[in-house]
Amino acid sequence: MVNYDYNLIIHTRKVSAEKLQQGKLLGKGIKPMKRILTIQDISCVGKCSLTIALPVISAMGVECAVLPTALLSNHTMFKSFTFDDLSDQISPIMECWKNEGITFDAIYTGYLGSVQDIDLVKKLIADFSNDETLVFIDPVMADNGKLYSNFDDTYVKANTSLCAAADVIVPNLTEACLLTDTPYREDMTIDEKKELLLKLCSLGSKTSVLTGVSMEEGKTGVLGFDSEKKEFFSVQSEHIDASFHGTGDIFSSVTVGALMNGLSWEQSLQIAADYTGATIKATLEDPKKPWYGVNFEQTIPQLINMLRDAG
């Protein structure tokens, strides 16, 4: 049951007094560089996972180390695809990193690809994280009420146990329902979504953030629950009536990148929601837009401006 005593904080946008301060370049000798490790597949064509995380996080002035879990010709929304599981590479890479004394400020996982990968990633998190490391898990496996091809119940169970290792998880509604064994309904009420969030946190993550939640007409964003503060929170942005592949990967990459720039949770989620919306808008304007992904490359300057305004 939803505990109605918990506060719900709806964050409102803070408009910065000065736009685009001259000469204030990202990371220009101000703070030490942060290093994120992102673990997801590499789809050679399709604009998702690593082909989003790497350029987006780098553009945000944060080092992005990668651990590819699988190599695909293109993502699985295409009619056909090749899939080569790279799980046999994970342990030797981890050993090498340990010997080299390599550490990470954040570990960010997305589409992993196989149960074996998930088990290895759990070990990696145990070996490479401490109290200072942000463990950010996007349990990518489903959307619009359906699992992506290649996945089954065993994968869902493995992903559920991975979520226990997280500081924060960011499922969409379909993934949240699968993780909590709740029947999926597109038209769930806000109270039902709050109940889902409580169940998600009981899996073990400190904070759960449900993506694609509209709290008012014409807006969309996230609804989250912070189990330490015992507080629900929400961030909203303009709703653009179109859905594209890869937007979840953009949202997660921007959130982690913004957090590593020292921004607060609310600022980071707001920038992620605003940038995702701006990118969908820009894509819609392109008469030659690809069906398989968004034109995030064209909106990277906007992302940098948002970051500079917030910092």
Name the residues that contact ligand PXL, by CB under 6 A: 41, 43, 48-49, 72, 75-77, 111, 140, 148, 246, 248-249
Q: What are the angstrom distances between the C-alpha of 283 and each of 145, 245, 269?
A: 25, 11, 21
Positive or negative CA dihedral for 252, 256, 257, 258?
A: positive
- Quickly tell me which residue has 């699992």 as its tokens: 147
Nearer to ligand PXL, 72 or 173 (CB): 72
Minimum Å gap between C-beta 248 and ligand PXL is: 6
Tokens in use for 82? 């090749």
Nearer to ligand PXL, 76 or 114 (CB): 76
Neighbours of 174 (CB within 10 A): 19
Nearer to ligand PXL, 140 or 201 (CB): 140
Neighbours of 272 (CB within 10 A): 29
| CA 109/CA 138 separation, integer angstroms | 6
Minimum Å gap between C-beta 173 and ligand PXL is: 15
- Among 39, 185, 208, residue whose Cα is nearest residue 114: 39
Nearer to ligand PXL, 52 or 259 (CB): 52
Tokens in use for 21? 């301060």
Residue nearest to ligand PXL (CB): 76
Neighbours of 208 (CB within 10 A): 27
Contact 209, 224 (CB under 8 A): yes
Nearer to ligand PXL, 48 or 124 (CB): 48
Minimum Å gap between C-beta 46 and ligand PXL is: 7
Minimum Å gap between C-beta 143 and ligand PXL is: 7
Nearer to ligand PXL, 49 or 237 (CB): 49
Minimum Å gap between C-beta 104 and ligand PXL is: 21
Contacts of 92 (CB under 8 A, 6+ apart): none
Minimum Å gap between C-beta 156 and ligand PXL is: 15
| CA 264/CA 84 separation, integer angstroms | 38
Minimum Å gap between C-beta 79 and ligand PXL is: 12
> Ramachandran region of residue 256, left (φ > 0), alpha (ψ -120 to 50) or beta?
alpha
Nearer to ligand PXL, 192 or 297 (CB): 297
